[in-house]
Chains A and B, each alone.
Chain A
Amino acid sequence: MSYKFDESQPIYLQLIEIFKTNIANGTWQAGEKIDSVRNLALSFAVNPNTVQRALVELENIGLAYSQRTTGRFVTQNQVLITNLKHEMAEHKTRDFVSQMQAIDIEQKEILDLVQRCLNSEDN
């Protein structure tokens, strides 16, 4: 697996986003063991220290925890994961809305657009 990073942004911030997405969508299940730093570094083709930094950040916000001998795990706290999901959703929605506003789309039009997109996906 190879991932295309936005190289004008710090890699570790982007890694944190990827890891959060993995936790939010269940690619990384709650309580599951996280792959070793080296393997993650290999699969993203990035520096192991950068992976380490991102994982430590993940621990700091409580989404992961370390056990000294067995390694690093995804949090088992479902509340945190649900919160994460909502937080990410809200964040992305805000981005979306501000982008719409930037091209002068009105509120009603935005809602219509969203509705239409969802409908077309159902079909």
Chain B
Amino acid sequence: MSIIQINNLCKNYGKLQAINNLSIELNSGQIVGLVGPNGSGKSSLLRILGAFDMAYSGEVLINGLKPGLESRKIVSYLSDKPYISESLRAEQMIKLYSDFFSDFNQEKAFNMLELFKLKPEQKLKEMSKGMGDKIQVLLTMSRDAKIYLLDEPISGVDPASRKIILRSMIEGFSEDALMIVSTHLLNDIENIIDSVLFLDSGQIKIKGSTDDLREQYGKSINELFEQIFQ
């Protein structure tokens, strides 16, 4: 059974249709790139999978259950906005996460802190924008979750930090997990994703393994993306 099953999912914001009759199954053990232009429904889809938005129609099953308490136990979600109190120190945030998430791996978190060259006693508000983003990636990836949902983890981040964030994604990913990464910066992540979902107007336009698509079209996923959407 697929860890994520979506059948005929629709999501409206008033008259605007963000997701339009979308159906897909996703298995564990892969990193999936969720790409599409702004407003194509990427964030809406991730929010629904993360149990942050229950106002949708259609069927969404995570490990066989509707998004809710049970799915929150196995889903680690990274929002595209900052969402952690700025007055906390890095080590306090790690403590906070391990208080609330039983699958939080403190050792992993402190290792990544070192990788990111961040000090445990540093406060979020004393960090630059890129560092704040890194901390959130760190906290999200330090959970030994079954599903990771990362909404635009590398946008608005300088190239050096981008590299480290990608690194921590590879490091945090385990073989029995599913990771979904939404982005419009395909260039940077195309080497680390197994398969890709092209979303357009709330529908899946192309899906497939990245290596197969490269072979089939003879171009990079990024070029393919540009060809389709321009």
Chain A interfacial positions (CB closer than 8 Å to B) = 2, 5, 7-13, 38, 41-42, 44-50, 53
Contacts and interface: CB of A to CB of B under 8 A. Distances in A.
A49 B191 contact: no
Interface string B207-228: 0001110110011111100000
Contact of B211 (A12, A41, A44): A12
Interface residues of B, number: 26
B167 A8 contact: no
Listed residue (B211, B212, B215) with the most chain A CB atoms within 10 angstroms of its CB = B211
Interface of B: 29-31, 163, 166-167, 170-171, 173, 175, 190-194, 210-212, 214-215, 218-223
B222 A7 contact: yes
Contacts of A49: 29-31, 194
B218 A7 contact: no
Most B CB contacts (10 A, CB to CB) among A2, A12, A46, A53 go to: A46
Given A10-B214, A49-B30, A42 B167 contact: yes
A53 B171 CA distance: 18
A48 B167 CA distance: 11
A46 B193 CA distance: 8
7 contacts: A8-B214, A10-B215, A12-B211, A46-B170, A47-B192, A49-B30, A50-B194
A42 B170 contact: yes
Nearest to A7: B220
Contacts, number: 61
A4 B64 CA distance: 41
B221 A48 contact: no
Contacts of B31: 47, 49
Contacts of B170: 38, 41-42, 45-48
A53 to B, nearest CB: 8
Contact of B221 (A7, A44, A47, A50): A7
A5 B188 CA distance: 12
Contact of B191 (A8, A13, A38, A47): A47
B211 A8 contact: no
Contacts of B221: 7
Contact of A8 (B163, B175, B219): B219
A9 B212 CA distance: 9
Contacts of A2: 163
A7 B214 contact: yes
Given A8-B218, A41-B170, 18 more contacts: A2-B163, A7-B220, A7-B221, A7-B222, A8-B214, A8-B223, A9-B215, A10-B212, A11-B210, A38-B171, A41-B192, A46-B191, A47-B191, A47-B194, A48-B170, A48-B175, A49-B29, A49-B30
